[in-house]
């Protein structure tokens, strides 16, 4: 849910550097209570471990 997502991000002041918090929140708010299907989730990390990026593809049936 949108409010739960926002509260989770706010708990650590977005220390995870989630890109697109506002558009994700608005999408969840507008589409509520739609279910979301996770199609794919991947991670890409620097070889030295200095950073990591995650990607998710979702569908809203």
Q: In this predicted model, what pLDDT tens digit does every residue of 10-32 receive, in sequence order?
A: 999 999 999 999 999 999 999 88
Q: Which domain holds residue 14?
A: 2-59
Q: Give the dihedral sign, CA 8/13/17/23.
A: positive
Mean pLDDT value across the chain? 92
How distant is the alpha carbon of residue 42 from its chain centre? 12
This prediction has a pTM of: 0.71
Q: 25: Cβ–Cβ under 8 A, 6 or more apart, which residues?
A: 2, 5, 6
Q: Does the structure show a pLDDT above 90 at 46?
A: yes
pLDDT of residue 60: 84
Averaged over 31-52, what is the pLDDT?
91
Q: Does the structure show a pLDDT above 90 at 61?
A: no
* Domain total in the chain: 1
């Amino acid at each position: 849910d949108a409010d739960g997502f926002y509260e989770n991000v706010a708990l650590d002041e977005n220390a995870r550097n989630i890109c697109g918090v506002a558009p994700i929140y608005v999408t969840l708010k507008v589409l509520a209570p739609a279910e979301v299907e996770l199609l794919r989730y991947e991670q890409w990390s620097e070889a030295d471990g200095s950073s990591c990026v995650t990607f998710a593809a979702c569908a809203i049936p």
